[in-house]
Homo-oligomer: A and B are copies of this chain.
Amino acid sequence: MKTAPRAQDVAALAKVSQSAVSRTFTPGASVSEETRRKVLAAAKMLGYRPNALARSLITRRSRIVALVMSYLDNQFYPLVIEQLSQRLQKAGYHVLMFIAEVDEEADGVLAEILDYQVDGIIMASANLSPRLANSCADLGVPVVQFNRVMEQRGRGRSKISSVTSANESGGRMAARLLVERGYRRIALIAGLENASTSIERERGFTDELAVLEMRLWNREVGHYDFHRAQEATQRLFAGDERPDGLFVANDHMAIAALDMLRQELNLKVPEDVGVIGFDDVPQAAWGAYRLTTVRQDLEPMIDATVALLCQQMTGELRPADIVVPCALVERATVRQRPPSTA
C-alpha cells in the first residue's frame, strides 16, 4: 500500500515552507501567485490532497449525517432537506443523501450508509426494520426517524428516536372541523397503508367521528401519490350519493383531489364538497387552492431532530420520542354549511 503524500512532501518538492502549502489550500488565505503556482504543480505531481480524511480516522468522526428518503414529490420533503441541511451545517455536519425505494424498508442501503462512517442517520419518509435500526444503535450510530415511527414488533422499546407531529390529534381536529361545519357524508383518502403518518391520522379522524356519533361514509387509498389520489377521488365520487366532506391524509394528495373535483367532476369546493388536507405545504396557500389543512410545525420538528441527533452523536445514546403539536389552518376549502334539509 502506497502511503498518501503529505504536506511536507509537497513543500519539499515545491521548495516552499509547509505553511505556504497550507495557505495555498485554505480558501481566502494570503499566498503569492508564484508560490501558489509552485505548490499546485507539486501537489498535482504527487497526487496530494489537503486535509486528508485521516482526520476522521483520528477523531473517529466523519461529520456526516445520512438522510434517507424514499420520495420527494411531496412538497413537504424539499423543505425538510433544506432546513435539515442548513441546521446541521451550522452544527458542523453535512447531510449525505440516500434515496430508498418507496414503500419498502430501507435496509438495502444500510450497509452503504455504514460504509461512509456516518455519525448519525435520519430516516425521513423511509422505514428501517427494527432489527437493523437496533444494530445501528449497537454500533454507536444514532438513528432518528423523522415524521415516521417504527412499529413495535413486541420486544420492548426500540433503541432509536423519533420526531413526529401529533398526527392522531391532527386527525381529530380535521374530523371535528368537518362535523362542526355541518358536513355529514364524510369520506377519507388515506396515504400509504403502512406509513405511520397515514395510520395515525386516519385513526384520530375515525375515532373522533365516533365520538361525534358519525361514521366514515367511504374510504379510498391514494398512496401519497398525486395521480393515484386523483383516481381515489374519482372512485369516491363515482356513485349516485356523493360524499359532502373529504379528509385527505396529506396536502400533496389534497391538491390532486381539488383538481379532480373542480376540473374533471365539475364540483364546487367548498359549496358541494368540503376538503381538508394535512401538512400545510407552501402550495396549500397558493391562491388557486387556499386549502384548509392541519399544519405540521416543521421548525420545531427540525429543531428537535437536530438537537436529538447532536446530543446522541456527541454523548449518550438515549433514545427519545418527540411529538410536536399540530394546528388547524382554515382557508377556503371548508365553510359553514346551511342547516341540513334531510
Contact = CB atoms under 8 A, between A and B. Distances in A.
Contacts of A75: 75, 78
A26 B111 contact: yes
B54 A57 contact: yes
A97 B81 contact: yes
Interface stretch (A185-193, A285-293, A321-329): A285-293
A99 B117 contact: no
Contact of A50 (B78, B112, B114, B282): B114
A4 interface: yes
A72 B78 contact: yes
For chain A, which range describes its interface: under 10, 10 to 19, 20 to 34, or 35 or more residues? 35 or more
A235 interface: no
Contacts of A139: 25, 40, 43, 49-50
A53 interface: yes
A55 B111 CA distance: 15
Interface in A48-101: 49-58, 60, 62-64, 67, 71-73, 75, 77-79, 81-82, 85-86, 89, 94-99
A286 B117 CA distance: 42
Interface stretch (A160-168, A214-222, A257-265): A257-265
A79 B111 CA distance: 25
Nearest to A78: B78
A27 interface: yes
Given A96-B97, A226-B282, 15 more contacts: A28-B107, A47-B140, A53-B53, A53-B62, A57-B57, A67-B97, A72-B81, A75-B78, A81-B81, A82-B99, A85-B98, A95-B97, A255-B286, A262-B288, A263-B287
Interface of A: 1, 4, 25-28, 40, 43-44, 47, 49-58, 60, 62-64, 67, 71-73, 75, 77-79, 81-82, 85-86, 89, 94-99, 107, 110-112, 114-117, 132, 135, 138-140, 226, 255, 258-260, 262-264, 282-283, 286-289
7 contacts: A1-B58, A50-B114, A53-B62, A57-B57, A73-B282, A78-B81, A94-B116
